[in-house]
């Protein structure tokens, strides 16, 4: 009987998959051995509050993003009004704004000690308590901030779906006596339903993953509960139990989104002329459309940026300029090194997927991209547990031949943080490379191999030059996401190591909002790069 030879590339995939599964396996094992007393304490005290606030956040942000995203997409895709051409790209700019940074800007402006209420009291002569003013540090404030930041996910996918629908359907509906509104509600929106639900699902997962905004506003959700159990109660097991609930929420959203999209595959209508002239709005309608789109952009991007700029001018950042330079260097070096690692892993997996004959390997590689849906804190908990076990095992093995002081090989440095980044952001690196590979025809590989060149030479001489744009895009997207990442960095960073995101969070937590504005503004400026790239790709 012959010996079955394993494919070396398949071994690489399984090793990467094992690394990805290790934190989730550790989390599962921790859940199977719960701390009963702590769990009873959580259930009887705070868990209901965590669940209630998380559900309310998901409902509120989901509905808000649905309203803003679909309405703006419908106006821009189908109608013509003043400023429409500019709004097509202005409406995606809030994607460059991390929600926790928008929260800092609005709090500085709207809080009791902020310039707006100070001016109000100065004009009216009122004192604090003499008037009613919405409290930005509340559940409603958190929902508002996340809504104006996350709606572009719904906007982009809805706009693409509306653009793909045949305009002849609208013309036929109007000729039969139907209004534009009835066409939208009865035909266009149902046809775009899969894309809309896809965007909403992304919004819901980002809402569940948010930590900086809800923590700063004092809203107790599952994400804040993880850190409170971990660091406040000193229980990693309790944090793992709450992380398990949060992960269950994410799985439910993914399953619902898949089922809804799977049962509705008719969002693109063929057979008609797609790029016909948009409907020309007139009278007050055109100005209302401009006002609505402008208001959304103002709340989600323009006003927060202007507030951050003004906050920087009011701060004493010169006192810690040296530290700021160090933080910038730390963040850039960490993000660049990890981005290169992620892109290398992504291109390796995409190359293997391209050449794989087994459907199971292709599905496994695709599944490795699901880490982006998992909140960073959940991954951080799993990585901490898993690497803690590895450190214990390593100390046990090394105790037999060495009496040196034990060190944390796996969880004491950058390894745990970079692995968490890899799990969380591999999908961001895989997608542009996968798209670039779709443009490389298989016959190029066949011709190269027929000339006697090896797979490695084929990759270097044919694939690599054609993948250059996709690789650079992946590197940019991953780099910016890493620079903005807060929860995993906050938990897993080595001692005495900070980044711009962590420093902004620490300064804001100390109520030094003006000082937090400079690192926050830098993050926003860097975050604009992939957004502008995305706009260029869409318009091309």
Q: Give the per-residue SS3 of 33-78.
A: CCCHHHHHHHHHHCHHHHHHHHHHHHHHHHHHHHHHHHHHHHHHHH
pLDDT (average), residues 306-325: 82
What are the backbone dihedrals phi and psi of residue 91, each rounded to the nearest 5 degrees, phi first?
Answer: -70, -15
Helix, strand, coil tally for the chain in percent (to 5)? 80, 0, 20
C-beta separation of 152 from 92 below 8 A: yes
- The pLDDT assigned to 338 comes to 93
| Residue 515 clears pLDDT 90, i.e. is over it | no
The rounded distance, in Å, linking the Cα atoms of 220 and 537 is: 39
- The pLDDT assigned to 238 comes to 84
Q: Would residue 512 count as lying in a domain?
A: yes
Q: Would residue 12 count as lying in a domain?
A: no
Which residue range is the domain that position 439 belongs to? 317-397+405-540
Q: Would residue 21 count as lying in a domain?
A: no
Q: Would residue 99 count as lying in a domain?
A: yes
Structure tokens at 14: 């399984």
Q: Do residue 183 and residue 213 come from a single domain?
A: yes
Q: Do residue 382 and residue 262 come from a single domain?
A: no
Q: Do residue 286 and residue 323 come from a single domain?
A: no
- The pLDDT assigned to 273 comes to 43
- The pLDDT assigned to 271 comes to 44
pLDDT (average), residues 318-340: 84
C-beta separation of 187 from 178 below 8 A: no
Angle between helices 193-209 and 139-164 (to 10 degrees): 150
Last residue of a domain, one of 288, 314, 340: 314
The rounded distance, in Å, linking the Cα atoms of 435 and 413 is: 34
- The pLDDT assigned to 203 comes to 92
Q: Count of H helices and E strands in the chain?
A: 26, 2
- The pLDDT assigned to 26 comes to 87
Angle between helices 8-32 and 415-438 (to 10 degrees): 130
Report the range of poorest mean pLDDT among 78-92, 348-362, 451-465: 451-465
Q: Would residue 369 count as lying in a domain?
A: yes
| Residue 484 clears pLDDT 70, i.e. is over it | yes
Beta strands 279-280 and 79-80 are parallel
| Residue 91 clears pLDDT 60, i.e. is over it | yes
The rounded distance, in Å, linking the Cα atoms of 289 and 75 is: 7
pLDDT (average), residues 62-73: 95
CB atoms within 10 A of CB 289: 23
Position 2 confidence tier, pLDDT thresholds 50, 70, 90:
very low
Structure tokens at 487: 């929860």
Domain count, the chain: 2
Structure tokens at 289: 């459309």
Position 223 confidence tier, pLDDT thresholds 50, 70, 90:
very high
The rounded distance, in Å, linking the Cα atoms of 218 and 109 is: 18
Angle between helices 236-262 and 376-398 (to 10 degrees): 130
The rounded distance, in Å, linking the Cα atoms of 424 and 440 is: 27
Q: Do residue 459 and residue 385 come from a single domain?
A: yes
Which of 322, 335, 312, 326 has the alpha carbon at shortest distance from 101? Answer: 312
pLDDT tens, residue by residue, 184-207 = 777 888 888 888 888 898 899 999
pLDDT (average), residues 4-23: 82
- The pLDDT assigned to 270 comes to 46
Q: Do residue 304 and residue 360 come from a single domain?
A: no
CATH number of the domain where residue 241 is located = 1.10.3720.10
Q: Do residue 218 and residue 356 come from a single domain?
A: no
Q: Do residue 211 and residue 258 come from a single domain?
A: yes
Q: Do residue 209 and residue 83 come from a single domain?
A: yes
Which of 374, 380, 27, 381 has the alpha carbon at shortest distance from 205? Answer: 374
Q: Do residue 164 and residue 291 come from a single domain?
A: yes
Q: Would residue 475 count as lying in a domain?
A: yes
Q: Do residue 267 and residue 381 come from a single domain?
A: no
| SS3 at position 279 | strand
Q: Would residue 103 count as lying in a domain?
A: yes
Q: Would residue 14 count as lying in a domain?
A: no
- The pLDDT assigned to 149 comes to 94
Last residue of a domain, one of 250, 281, 314: 314
| SS3 at position 527 | helix
The rounded distance, in Å, linking the Cα atoms of 475 and 472 is: 5
The rounded distance, in Å, linking the Cα atoms of 201 and 415 is: 31
- The pLDDT assigned to 401 comes to 62
| Residue 112 clears pLDDT 70, i.e. is over it | yes
Predicted structure pTM score: 0.86
- DSSP single-letter state for residue 232: I
Alpha-carbon distance values, 290 to 66, 122, 298 (Å): 19, 33, 12
Last residue of a domain, one of 314, 336, 369: 314
pLDDT tens, residue by residue, 379-438 = 998 898 888 888 777 777 766 565 655 566 777 678 889 999 999 999 888 888 887 887
- The pLDDT assigned to 101 comes to 93
The rounded distance, in Å, linking the Cα atoms of 10 and 16 is: 10
C-beta separation of 382 from 23 below 8 A: yes
Which of 132, 139, 141 has the alpha carbon at shortest distance from 108? Answer: 141
pLDDT cut 90: percent of the chain above it: 27
- The pLDDT assigned to 165 comes to 75
Biggest CA–CA distance in the chain, Å, is: 95
CB atoms within 10 A of CB 52: 13
The rounded distance, in Å, linking the Cα atoms of 446 and 159 is: 39
Which of 349, 358, 382, 351 has the alpha carbon at shortest distance from 21? Answer: 382
| Residue 61 clears pLDDT 90, i.e. is over it | yes
C-beta separation of 30 from 109 below 8 A: no
The rounded distance, in Å, linking the Cα atoms of 522 and 101 is: 11
Please name the residue that has the structure tokens 């809504």. Answer: 147
Position 166 confidence tier, pLDDT thresholds 50, 70, 90:
low
| SS3 at position 477 | helix
Q: Do residue 125 and residue 241 come from a single domain?
A: yes
pLDDT (average), residues 255-273: 57
Q: Give the per-residue SS3 of 148-172.
A: HHHHHHHHHHHHHHHHHCCHHHHHH
C-beta separation of 241 from 50 below 8 A: no
pLDDT (average), residues 497-503: 88
The rounded distance, in Å, linking the Cα atoms of 247 and 243 is: 6
Please name the residue that has the structure tokens 């942000």. Answer: 61
Q: Do residue 295 and residue 333 come from a single domain?
A: no
């Amino acid at each position: 009987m012959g010996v079955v030879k394993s494919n070396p590339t398949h071994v690489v995939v399984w090793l990467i998959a094992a690394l990805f599964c290790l934190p989730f396996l550790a989390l599962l094992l921790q859940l199977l051995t719960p701390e009963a007393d702590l769990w009873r304490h959580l259930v009887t005290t705070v868990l209901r509050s965590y669940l209630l606030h998380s559900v309310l956040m998901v409902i509120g942000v989901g509905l808000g993003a649905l309203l803003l995203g679909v309405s703006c997409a419908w106006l821009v895709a189908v109608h013509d009004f003043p400023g429409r051409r500019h709004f097509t790209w202005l409406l995606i700019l809030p994607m460059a704004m991390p929600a926790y940074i928008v929260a800092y800007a609005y709090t500085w402006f709207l809080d009791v000690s902020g310039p707006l209420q100070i001016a109000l009291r100065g004009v009216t002569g009122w004192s604090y308590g003499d008037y009613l003013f919405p409290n930005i540090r509340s559940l409603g404030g958190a929902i508002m901030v996340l809504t104006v930041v996350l709606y572009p996910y719904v906007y982009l996918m809805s706009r693409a779906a509306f653009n793909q629908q045949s305009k002849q359907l609208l013309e036929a509906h109007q000729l039969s006596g139907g209004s534009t509104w009835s066409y939208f509600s009865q035909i266009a929106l149902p046809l775009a339903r899969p894309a809309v639900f896809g965007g909403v699902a992304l919004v819901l997962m980002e809402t569940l993953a948010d930590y900086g905004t809800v923590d700063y506003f004092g809203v107790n959700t599952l994400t804040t509960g993880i850190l409170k159990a971990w660091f406040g109660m000193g229980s990693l097991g309790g944090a793992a139990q709450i992380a398990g609930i949060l992960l269950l929420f994410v799985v439910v959203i993914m399953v619902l989104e898949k089922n809804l999209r799977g049962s509705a595959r008719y969002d693109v209508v063929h057979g008609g002329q797609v790029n016909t002239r948009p409907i020309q709005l007139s009278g007050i309608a055109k100005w209302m459309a401009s006002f609505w789109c402008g208001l959304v952009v103002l709340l989600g991007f323009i006003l927060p940026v202007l507030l951050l700029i003004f906050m920087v001018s009011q701060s004493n950042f010169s006192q810690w300029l040296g530290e700021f330079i160090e933080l910038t260097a730390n963040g850039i070096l960490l993000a660049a090194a990890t981005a290169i690692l992620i892109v290398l892993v992504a291109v390796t997996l995409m190359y293997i997927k391209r050449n794989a004959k087994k459907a199971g390997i292709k599905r496994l590689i695709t599944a490795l991209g699901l880490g982006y849906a998992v909140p960073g804190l959940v991954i951080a908990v799993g990585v901490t547990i898993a690497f803690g076990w590895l450190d214990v095992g390593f100390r046990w093995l090394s105790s037999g031949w060495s009496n040196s002081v034990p060190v944390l090989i796996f969880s004491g440095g950058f390894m745990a943080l970079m692995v968490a980044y890899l799990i969380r952001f591999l999908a961001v690196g895989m997608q542009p490379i996968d798209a670039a590979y779709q443009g490389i025809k298989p016959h190029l590989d066949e011709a190269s191999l027929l000339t006697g060149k090896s797979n490695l030479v084929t990759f270097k001489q044919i694939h690599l030059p054609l993948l250059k744009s996709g690789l650079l895009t992946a590197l940019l997207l991953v780099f910016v996401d890493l620079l903005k990442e807060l929860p995993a960095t906050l938990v897993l960073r080595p001692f005495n190591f900070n980044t711009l995101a962590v420093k902004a969070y620490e300064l804001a937590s100390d109520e030094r909002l003006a000082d937090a504005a400079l690192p926050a503004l830098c993050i926003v400026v860097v975050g604009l790069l992939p957004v502008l790239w995305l706009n260029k790709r869409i318009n091309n």
